[in-house]
Amino acid sequence: MIAVLAMLGATAQAGSFDGMVAIDGFHASSKSTERESGPDETLSANELGMRIRTRLYEMDDRLKAEVDYRGREPIGGDLQNRNLRLLYKTYVQYEAIEDRWTIGGGRFMADSVILLPVDGVFSKYAFDRRMAVTLFGGRRGFTTSLRNLPLGTILPAAGASFHRYRDNLQISAQAVYAKDQLVLPENTGEELTTDFGASNGSVSVVGLPNDDLVLGARLNFAEQASYSFGPTWTDLSSTSAFGLWSGIAFADWDLSDHVQLDYDLHHQTVGVIPQGNRTEIIDPNWTDNRVSANFAPGELGWVRAKFRYRLRPSWQEQRYTLQLDANELGLDGLYARAKGIVDNIANSPVTEEAGLVDHLFWSTALGYRNRGFDARAGASFFERTAAPVSSRRMDLADPQTSSADLQPFVLQAQNIAFVRGFYSGKQWFTGVDLEKNLADSEIRVMIQVGALAEKIW
């Protein structure tokens, strides 16, 4: 970075720097005595995480450099995930023509429907303050399955984006082509990789007829790898990329400072290869109608009600959500949260044939916040069917099997009591998240510590 600044002749002009470094530790334990849960009754996992983010602005903000690194390392434990050492960003950009033309290079996140880090160059040209076009090209930085690529592996990536802004209208469009790499497990325990090309694009329009109403629509297209499973869930093969189309239209209406209404229409269609009766389980074709109403009774807080009606080719899902946020409880800084979700699933091959229950979730908490400190304690209840997948069970090809053993190493996935706390100051921040399974001795703990830096000259 110093060499780049020297080549551009950077002088002591106005600029700024901000950065963050954070580390976290995660521990989880899982206990299961059910049949086919594995030879060990108790399993544990430990991970260490790191995040580094910096941004530098120089030459009256015409020069910008940014770095963003995120990593996770398994440390001991009975189960170990693979490590993640991902450099999301490390690039420099320069405004070659002030307020008009910007060029840059390095690793950057490209405008794309799916995650696309690119090692390459980009150029943004602003015709005026209301319209701009960006072009980029290079190679994919890491895969969508979050695996780093060797320097000698070239998976080309290129694309363009267009943005048009007016006082009450925004129009955006983008088109991208990039190769990706898929890792396929073999019965021998080894891994094979296969490359495939995929394109994606989107067009979106957002309008503001008045200060209280926002209307918008977005159409997305993305090609991704298609999978076929069989004869068991651990036998995975792949075909070429398939096309996924999705569209959404929305309306957000603020009737007043205390009443808000929202409506979303979301449709998704994708091509899949039928694999016996598995098609109904993994079928991702659906249409959503979602309505939400938010009401604030004075300064007490918010009452939020939501309804989602999802239509699938084989069954229907109705989701009812009610959330209560109380911000004024008599003591300054004291607040409470309560949330409940009920899924009514009709004609599903999983629930109808197995006679299993629909999904149910609720959570409640009491908290306190003041001067950068926020802590809460509460409990949550999560109930669903085990099929089609569960964390430790290996015999769930049979939908008649039910299990309460769900996602042992994922936060908020079982019936738990929890304590969460976070503090953020000018230079330091820290947080802790503790969960205890109410059914047995499973615990999950995450602790985070970080430092912030900021300077302006």
For residue 419, what is the domain's CATH number?
Answer: 2.40.160
User: Residue 183 has what pLDDT?
Assistant: 76
Instruction: Say if 104 falls within a structural domain.
Output: no
Residue 40 lies in a domain: yes
At 210 the pLDDT is 93
Cα(394)–Cα(386) distance, integer angstroms: 11
CA 178 to chain centre: 21
Asked if 247 and 266 touch (Cβ cutoff 8 Å), the reply is yes
- Please give the pLDDT value at position 393: 53
Report yes or no on 60 lying in a domain: yes
pLDDT attached to residue 270: 74
Burial of 99 (0-12, 13-18, 19+ CB in 10 A): exposed
**106-118 residue pLDDT tens:** 999 999 999 999 9
Instruction: For residue 205, tell me if it sits in a domain.
Output: yes
CA–CA gap between residue 25 and residue 42 (Å, rounded): 20
Q: What is the pLDDT of residues 357-401, one digit of tens each?
A: 577 889 999 999 999 999 999 999 877 654 444 455 544 444 444
Note whether residue 256 is domain-resident. Answer: yes
> Using the 8-state DSSP alphabet, how is residue 83 labeled?
P
Range of the domain at 75: 2-86+128-456
- What mean pLDDT is predicted for residues 208-223? 94
Q: How large a percentage of the chain has pLDDT more than 90?
A: 59
Question: Is 115 inside any structural domain?
Answer: no
Within 8 A by CB and 6+ apart from 39, the residues are: none
Query: Structural domain tally of the chain?
Result: 1
pTM summary value: 0.83
What are the residues whose beta carbons fall under 8 Å from the beta carbon of 351, sequence distance 6 or more?
Answer: 345, 357, 358, 385
Q: What's residue 35's pLDDT?
A: 64
Average pLDDT over residues 404-428: 77
| pLDDT greater than 90 at residue 162 | yes
Domain-embedded: residue 77: yes
Question: Using CA atoms, how far apart are residues 225 and 204, in angstroms rounded to an integer?
Answer: 25
Q: Is residue 92 part of a domain?
A: no
Residues with Cβ within 8 Å of 28's Cβ and at least 6 positions away in sequence, in order, are: 44, 45, 408, 409, 442, 443, 444, 445
Would you state the pLDDT for residue 8?
Answer: 46
Amino acid at 210: N
Mean pLDDT throughout 230-251? Answer: 68
pLDDT mean across residues, the chain: 84
